[in-house]
Structure 1
Amino acid sequence: MRIWRNKRKTDRSDEDHSFQVLLQRLTESDEFTQFTYASRSSTLCIGYYTSLVDTEILHRDILPYLKELEIMNALPNVLPIEEVSLEKDATKIQEQLLRGFILIFDINNLNQMGLAKASVERTRQVTIPEVEFSVVGPKEAFVEALDTNINLVRKRLPLADLVIKEMQIGNLSKTRVSVLYIDGIANQENVNTVVQRLSELQVDQINDSSYLTQLIQDNQNSPFPQLIDTERPDRIASVLGDGKIAILVDGAPHGLIGPTTFFEFFSAFEDYFLNWTVASFFRLVRFFAVFFSILITPIYVAVLTYHYELIPKDMLSTLVTSRSAIPLPPIMEAVVLELTIELLREAGARLPTKVGQTIGIVGGIVIGTASVEAGLTSNVLLIIVALGALASFTTPVYQMGNTIRLIRFPFLLMAHYIGLLGVAVSFCFLLIHLLRLSSLGRPFLEPFYPLRVQDLKDSLIRLPFSMQTKRPIQEQTEDTMRFNPMKAKEKDDI
């Protein structure tokens, strides 16, 4: 018994020493404030970070009730706050203080420390989507607060089966990351893949969901994104019902969706708010615009460099007239114009909104007119490059638009060296790369590779909802049926 008492005294002295070291480290920061407060039976010390704590909660919900406190063990019963706890571990105490908790302890008794949550919430209000704006449909977008974003999803899916697994990632940032899926629908293999990749990350900081996109996607060297980045809570709620996995990051106004396919990047969520015939037409327009944006300038360079016989006779005189005074070869002319478009786009994106719009419009008109009049570029190529740049803006997902802008340049170089054969070779390399890609282990070019006829109902075109009775095969869901097709066709009229 004596040995046990001596050991207990030693443990207490170690705890007191560790807590004193913690207090000394905390007081090194001018942001940490501490003061004494007299209760009924003892003198309490209160400490907190001023930038993380709402002082109104402190003076309204904590200090008046501490006057009635007799022993520290009664602290959770005295304070009218949800998150109140007693802690002995100095490391956990420091973690809670950095999350906006207030430290409360008795000066004469350092056995137990009380922690009460009083964090200040400074986040912007829910606004309309800026990147994925739609004329029809909900007008809510994610913000930088994780709890608010989860609330936006929860109110659209009031299900007990909606599972949210939260973890902290980042040795320095300690960023909260939540994985969302519907139990009973989502494939458990997909869930385990996402959770494993996130839990094994060894990084210092996660400042945005884009960090996770680059870290957990299957091929980190590919210019093609393998996870969809969205700012719409209605889109995440919809894909969760299809069996996909969603990732929300604290401090990021965008969520991640996976597994995904190449064709989903060209599907705007507004397509589901329109009639299926109109939505299918718009999807086909987007696909055509993407191929037009990638191929039109390389084909122009290849035809003018090697394949004159492909030029129609009626158009030959127009091309000869426009290029008669141009000293540059077609490849240099095309590269200069493409880089000019990229410079204008970057300048417009980095400058303030009103200034950026003015620079983009005025700069495009002035530079285009001046380059044609100076004889540096032909007016035909100027029109082609402008149309190609305009077509690249039709992609609903911003990351895919960046990829399309990038892959035009290898096509241009190959078209200059070996003509249309170079365009064909470049397209083959692009297709091989896409065939090798996967998203969370699922094929990226599904439903065409492998061919799955069922998933064709919502790929290049969107068929009516009444025909989409089954969930996509891509997700390998546990519950494959959305609804009973026979009951869906029943109509009871008066």
Structure 2
Amino acid sequence: MGIVFHILAHNKVKILARGVFPIPENIYTVLKDTIKSNDFVQSVHTIHGKRIHFTYCKAIVDQELIHHELLHRIQISEAEINHLLALKNLIPLENIKLSSNVDEVLQSLIRGFIYVQLEADLNEGLLINIVDLKRGYRSNNEADNEYSVIGPKVGFVEDIDTNLNLLRKELISENLRFEEYIVGSLSQTRVTIVYVDGVCNPQHVNTVRQRIVDSDSDVLFDSSILDQIITDNANSPFPLFMSSERVDRAKFSLMNGQVVILSSGSPYFISGPITVFDFFASPEDYYLPWVMGSFFRCIRYLGVAFSILASPFYVAVLTFHYSVIPQSLLSPIIESRANVPFAPIIEVLLLELTVELLREAGARLPTKVGQTLGIVGGIVLGEAAVQASLTSNVLIIIVSLSALSSFATPIFKMANTIRFLRFPLMGLAAAWGGLGIMIGVELLLGHLL
């Protein structure tokens, strides 16, 4: 038995408009000249002197299933395979039908069908339904780091073939394109870029493709490392690619014209190009009425602003601008700080660093222990700090609300950036008060623009 595999290259052919296919010399050639995605395979098998052509999507169809359930049964049969009906009788599966319609074949292939043809007649073939029989991969998991109350809970896993299968099932389109590359001279990591032809800007695809090809990294263990390799500015505190493990977020990114990049061994994908506002959009926003979705997104914006500016504002006011505080509020603040031996900037830094230390320690411990540490540690240390006159009650409230507000950001990488930004702003506030905060905010906006 001779076996020849041919994976169609993305840059060799151009797709034809759906529904306007010319009358072909044979469907096999039209499929070869039409399908551009790397996950579609055309193979030729010689059995009993007859050449049989198979076309299928390897992201959905288990190739071992083809060998064991189809090829093996055909090989052990002694029947003559002179026409498609004879071949059909050898395959013990239901939902097998003859088809010579290119449009129907394309739609069936992206749903997990196999198209089988005899070389004697490539104008027609058998569509065999083996959808959902892909096996041998880890089951899907729930997106633990991006939990949502409404909508699907499915997340990606570490197996890239399973992830590509999930994308094919979620976005059933003949314009969905997969391009596979190998990155890392030592790790030999599979990287696949995914986009929707006709929706994504070709210039964006070419840019991502060229940066992956030009990368000279020795190892690639996770998509986050790839993010740093292909980014425009590795020194920016802001993430320049979206990173998520949710399948529905990947689908929305593709439909918005972004390029999605997956790598083997990582349950996270990265996508771009993006804006800073994309980091504050939750998949739940798409499942709610637009009024509610917009309301919750505005709440996130307010939470981010409070998380970044609250502590610097406290430092600026107590250092330079006592006059802006109403008299009724000024007296309690002065009383709470009467015995505090530190300047406002030192007081805030000690408390902020303590909160960050608790958060980091809780993240490294087992889940239940980490939650207990965060709650008990925060209460005990906060109460002890006030009793020892190391900080004021007002600052405890401000820092607690700032930490709580940072959790409103759906994307973990952006939440880390927000946690970091308040520290340089506190330094500017201690040096120049409100003017320093304004300078810092203008620098941030200038960097984002």
TM > 0.5 fold call: yes
* Residue type at the aligned position of 1:309: S
Which of 216, 221, 236 is matched with 2:250 structurally? Answer: 236
Structure 2: distance between partners of 1:187 and 1:381:
48
User: Which of 435, 441, 444 is the aligned partner of 1:421?
Assistant: 435
SS at match of 2:217: coil
Shift of 1:312: 0.5
Structure 1 residue 238: deviation in Å?
2.1
Query: Which of 365, 374, 378 is residue 351 of structure 1 equivalent to?
Result: 365
Give the Å deviation of 1:274.
Answer: 0.7
Give the one of 414, 419, 442 matched to 1:400. 414
Distance 2:383 2:192 in 1: 51
| Structure 2 counterpart of 1:132, from 146, 152, 155 | 146
1:265 to 279, 301, 304: 279
State the secondary structure of the residue aligned to 1:372. helix
Please tell me whether residue 322 in structure 1 is matched to residue 351 in structure 2: no
The equivalent residue for 2:229 is 215
Out of 156, 169, 174, the residue aligned to residue 155 of structure 1 is 169
Aligned 1:72-471 pairs, distance under 5 A:
124-435=138-449
> Secondary structure, in 3 states, of the residue corresponding to 1:177?
strand
Divergent runs of 4+, >4 A = none
Q: Secondary structure at the match of 2:178?
A: strand
Q: SS at 1:229's partner residue?
A: strand
- Distance across 2 between alignment mates of 1:167 and 1:134: 33
For the residues of structure 1 that align with 2:148 and 2:344, how far apart are their CA atoms? 39
Distance apart, 1:125 and its partner CA: 2.2
**Matched residues in 1 for 2:136 and 2:328: separation?**
65
The 3-state SS of whatever aligns with 1:131 is helix
Q: Which residue of 1 aligns with 2:42?
A: none
- Aligned pair count reads 322
Contact kept? 2:137, 2:162, Cα under 8 Å: no
8 Å contact 1:153–1:233 — kept in the other structure? yes
Checking the alignment, whether the CA contact within 8 Å between 1:331 and 1:416 is kept in structure 2 is yes
Structure-2 separation of matches of 1:239 and 1:333: 43
One-letter amino acid matched to 1:407: L
Provide the rounded CA distance (Å) in 2 between the counterparts of 1:191 and 1:371.
54
| Aligned position for 2:95 | none
C-alpha contact (below 8 Å) 1:227/1:257 kept by paired residues:
yes
SS in 2 for 1:215: helix
Secondary structure of the 2:179 match is strand
SS in 2 for 1:149: helix
Aligned to 1:225, the other structure's residue is in SS state coil
The 2-side partners of 1:239 and 1:264 are apart by 10
1:123 Cα deviation after fit: 5.5
Give 1 or 2 for the bigger CA radius of gyration. 1
1:228–1:258 Cα contact (<8 Å) kept: yes
Q: Is the 8 A contact 2:140 2:157 kept in 1?
A: yes
AA matched with 2:328: D
Contact 1:123 1:143 in 2 (8 A): no
- Counterpart-to-counterpart distance in 2, 1:338 and 1:363: 14
Aligned residue for 2:132?
none
CA distance in 2, matches of 1:268, 1:237: 13
Q: Give the residue type in structure 1 aligned to 2:266.
A: A
Matched-pair contact (CA < 8 Å) for 2:280–2:410: yes
Deviation per CA, 1:343-396, whole angstroms, max 9, x where unpaired? 000001011111101111110000000000000000100100000010011000
**Residue identity matched to 1:188:** P
Structure 1: gaps (5+ residues): 1-55, 69-120, 436-494
Q: CA deviation at 1:124?
A: 3.8
Structure 1 pair 415–159 and aligned structure 2 pair: CA distance change class (3 A): same
Distance 2:395 2:181 in 1: 52
1:122: Cα distance to partner?
7.5
Aligned to 1:459: none
Instruction: State the 1:185 CA deviation.
Output: 1.8
Whole-Å Cα distance in 2 between the matches of residues 151 and 363 of structure 1? 44
Q: 1 CA distance for matches of 2:162 and 2:137? A: 9
**1:409 CA drift (Å):** 0.5
- Over the matched positions of the two proteins, sequence identity in percent amounts to 52
Take 1:156 and 1:399, find their aligned partners in 2: how far apart are those partners?
A: 25
Q: Give me the whole-angstrom Cα distance separating, in 2, the residues matched to 1:321 and 1:233.
A: 53
2:146 maps to a residue whose letter is: E
1:231-268: CA deviations, max 9, x gaps? 11112122212221100111110111111101000111
Specify the code of the residue in structure 1 equivalent to 2:445.
L
Q: Distance in 1 between matches of 2:330 and 2:151?
A: 48
Give secondary structure in 2 for the equivalent of 1:395: coil
Give structure 2 stretches of 5+ with no counterpart.
Answer: 1-63, 77-134
Deviation at 1:196, TM superposition (A): 0.3
The alpha carbon displacement at 1:306 in A equals 0.7
- TM-score normalised to the size of structure 2? 0.70
Deviation at 1:183, TM superposition (A): 1.4
